[in-house]
Amino acid sequence: LLAISSPGNPLVKTLSKLQQARHRREQGLFLVEGSRAIGAFLAAGWRPAHLLVRSDEPVPADWPEAQRVSAAVIERISAAVTPPGYVAAFPIPTPPALEPARGGLALAEVMDPGNAGTLLRTAAALGVQQVALIGGVDPYAPKVVQASAGALALLRVHELPASDGLTPFADAPLCALVARGGEPPDHFRRGARWLVVGGEAHGIRDEWLARCAERLTLPMPGGTESLNAAVAGAIALYLLAMTEAP
């Protein structure tokens, strides 16, 4: 028995609008697709506002009650080419106050949803708990959520307007990841700091760079111009967080 079979159902229409940033803000909800990603949120104690499972898929035993829906309903809500059988809407959380001195990952105008999501996923895997997005992508956009593979469940995500720049970090230690001109990784001691990763096209704005006391450049002996932004950020995050004993 289906709880919802028609893609014209009012709830389905409402959820499908969560593809758009404006409606996410208005409703205070974001979409998570796929049983594995949804499971990560549930395991971290999040409670879905809506949990829809396509009628041909099993509902995992440790999940809360789900609404059974038709394939057409899922297709209406999801933007995926091949929608998974599971869609949930979770409340967008209000993070606790930013703790500048504790450090974390700062994405400064990172624009590519795949890169941003991959960096969120990497931060969560490496135990980095605070992430700040200064301008750039919306962390609750479906493509970011998808690439982050459930990592948002474990992170404190701070969205800061680009107009504030790095001001909210006050005098916290900031380490800019730059393609050239910085120190190599072995120059840095382990410790609480913010790794600042800039946008794909233009890197970190000059006035923001001026606030970063440290600058890290990964050696690239192969002679090519650059690493992918998510790869460079992930290697830097790994090296700063983990290469030296605590």
Choose one: 4-12, 79-87, 89-97, 145-153; the region binding a second copy (CB under 8 A).
145-153
Tell the smallest beta-carbon distance from residue 150 to a second copy (Å). Answer: 7
Furthest-apart CA atoms within the chain: distance in Å: 63
Residue from the set 15, 40, 77, 87 that interacts with a second copy by CB under 8 A: 40
Choose one: 90-98, 103-111, 136-144, 225-233; the region binding a second copy (CB under 8 A).
225-233
Residue from the set 125, 143, 168, 200 that interacts with a second copy by CB under 8 A: 125
Question: Does the footprint of a second copy cover residue 192 (CB under 8 A)?
Answer: no
Could you tell me how many residues make up the chain? 246
Strands 194-198 and 104-108: parallel
Question: Does the footprint of a second copy cover residue 118 (CB under 8 A)?
Answer: yes
SS3 23: helix
Residue showing tokens 């979409």: 31
Q: Are 66 and 51 in contact (CB under 8 A)?
A: yes
Choose one: 1-9, 63-71, 126-134, 159-167; the region binding a second copy (CB under 8 A).
126-134
SS3 66: coil
Quote the CA–CA distance of 85 and 54 in Å, as a whole number. 5
- Could you tell me which residues come within 8 angstroms of residue 154 by beta carbon, excluding any fewer than 6 positions away? 40, 44, 124, 129
Question: Does the footprint of a second copy cover residue 98 (CB under 8 A)?
Answer: no
Where does this chain bind a second copy (CB under 8 A)? 36, 40, 114, 118, 121-128, 147, 149-151, 154, 218-228, 230-231, 234-235, 238-239, 242-243
